[in-house]
Amino acid sequence: MKCVAVCQDETVVRILAKALPSSFETEFIVEDRLLARRLSECDITVRVGDSRKVDTFLKAKVDPSTCVLVEDTGRRSPHRTIETIRDAGGTLIYLLDVGHPLSPKRRREAKPHEADVGHLALADLLVGELGVRLERSMTRARVEQYQRYLADADRVLILLHNDPDPDAIASGLAMRNLLHRTKTTAIIGTFQGMTRPENLRMANLLDIRVELLERQSLGSFDRIVTVDVQPHYFGGLIDKVDLVIDHHPERTGYNSAFKDIRPDYGSTCTILTEHLRAIDVNISERTATAMLYAIKSDTLFLSRQTHEPDLDAFRFLYPLANAALVRKMEGAETTIERLNCIADAVHQGAAGQTLYTTHLGEVAREDLVAYVADFLLQVEEIKWSIVSGIVHSDVVISVRNLGSSRHAGEFVKQNFGDVGSAGGHRAMAKAVVPVVRFTEKFGTTAPKRIIEILDHLGRNFVGSPAPPDQAAATPITAGTSPPTRSALR
């Protein structure tokens, strides 16, 4: 590929000479002989010529396949130069804005001649990479600070939330890697073990051990780090930690020597990928696989609450991870236990035109209710699913929709907020109501009646128009951070 650049500014020539790919055959056209001599002394191919003379471009052998860059000096109109290049046979013409302010005369001018000319701004071309590099060095400083701070501890606790999900588990591994520690000097722990089959499967397949902690065992650690959770979560048990890395909205009520909390990130593993990249550490296939699975899982395979950093982390981890293992972990979603739940659900359920309501009776865990609600939404005709089940002494209600005009979170808040905890996104929401309170409000927990009640509430809500403030759809990448998938499940 041949490239001819018309530039009068030495710095611009030097930058372009370095930036243009070496596979390009590049020639610069300048007007100043002294400048040309200086440049050619540095092995830059340069020609002295008047950019308003056709001959200049003929000598440079410009043809329709030559890429011609014209530096916009802001003063003189590039019109004559562009016409001259066209007369010489050039068609691929780019006007390069290097940041010179336009003269008042230029600003007044119409620019019809620039219509089929490409426009490039030097600053725009720099901005992505420059920002990334500077941010990375700031992240590096931050990571080195907490690494130093935690370096002399004998035993560090990397604390996860209860019933840890893939993001929490993988964040634990990543943190151990960042601290250059082993499983005996950095213990990944939780107060309540994993229950969901896919999480257990992940831990088994990747051989990750999450220790079950007792309240009193906290004292045996020199330092505490929380990942994918903040200390307030533990209800007053911990008010001071050494490091917090999380992507949930920032909470108060605790002290931490260091923290990195980014609520607009889709997963904690995205933050930790940036930390690992910043210090240029070796990432094992096991850690990369866990982190890749975590990002996929927390962002519903990059389809919810996903931002550029999540995509970037995904791109970075993908070649380091074991894709076959990720696929195997995802396959763990379907188990005989879940299949049985679906069979029950379909047996009991009531399908309206687009709403499916069902009740699972007593089930062992909340995730079974969420699983069935997700599953039903895949059925072709269904746009809303409302699924309930009794888990210990609570009625758990999971609601899903295809991101329709009405808000699932509002539905559960309106109907169950007064008797239990209720909330969520537009497309997925959950309510947990003690059986006693549910009976007080609705008079029964008989399975058939529960379905009738939920179906009635659902039909009324879905069928009625949304209040004006709800009518506008919330984009999935909105700046505010809704509860994570795990919080809703």
Contacting residue, 167, 274, 344, 455, with Mn ion by CB under 5 A: 167
274 binds Mn ion (CB under 5 A): no
Of 270 and 388, CB closest to Mn ion = 270
Residue from 71, 163, 242, 298 binding Mn ion (CB under 5 A): 298
Which positions from 228 through 257 interact with Mn ion, judged by CB under 5 A?
A: 228
Helix axes 435-442, 447-463, angle to 10 degrees: 70
Work out how close the CB of 487 gets to Mn ion at its nearest, in angstroms, rounded to a whole number.
9
Q: Of all helices (H) and strands (E), which one includes residue 58?
A: helix 54-59
- Rounded to a whole number of angstroms, the minimum distance from the CB of residue 266 to Mn ion is 8
Q: Output the DSSP codes for 92-136.
A: EEEEEE-SPPPPHHHHHS--GGGTTSEEEEHHHHHHHHHHHHHHH
Which residue number, 305 or 358, has a Cβ lying nearer to Mn ion? 305
Give the contact letters, 196-235, x = binds to Mn ion (CB under 5 A), - = no. Answer: --------------------------------x-------
Q: Using alpha carbons, select from 364, 363, 285 the residue that is nearest to residue 319.
A: 285
CB of 161 to Mn ion, least distance (A): 9
- The Cα 445–Cα 438 span in angstroms is 7
Piece of the chain touching Mn ion by CB under 5 A; list 159-167, 356-364, 379-387, 400-408: 159-167
In angstroms, rounded to a whole number, what is the distance separating the alpha carbons of residues 302 and 384?
A: 22
What value, to the nearest 5°, has the Cα angle with vertex 396 and ends 395 and 402?
Answer: 140
Q: How many residues bind Mn ion (CB under 5 A)?
A: 6
Residue closer to Mn ion by CB (options 167, 394) is: 167
| Closest separation in Å from C-beta 273 to Mn ion | 13
Taking the CA atoms of 293, 298, 303 and 305 in sequence, report the sign of the dihedral they define: negative
Closer residue to Mn ion, CB minimum distance, 167 or 198: 167
Measuring CA to CA, which residue among 382, 348, 359, 321 is closest to residue 450? 359
- Which range, of 161-169, 187-195, 345-353, 389-397, touches Mn ion by CB under 5 A? 161-169
Instruction: Classify strands 92-97 and 118-121 as parallel, antiparallel or unpaired.
Output: parallel
Q: How far is the CB of 330 from Mn ion (least distance, A)?
A: 17
Nearest approach, Cβ of residue 57 and Mn ion (Å)? 58
Cβ contacts of 55-58, under 8 Å, gap ≥ 24:
56/29, 56/84, 56/88, 57/4, 57/29, 57/84, 57/85, 57/88, 57/89, 57/90, 58/88
**In the complex, minimum distance from the CB of residue 298 to Mn ion, in angstroms, rounded to a whole number:** 5
Closer CB to Mn ion, residue 78 or residue 266?
266
CB nearer Mn ion, residue 273 or residue 484: 484
Backbone phi and psi for residue 4, each to the nearest 5 degrees, phi listed first: -120, 125
The size of the chain, in residues, is 489
User: Which residues contact Mn ion by CB under 5 A?
Assistant: 167, 228, 267-268, 298, 484
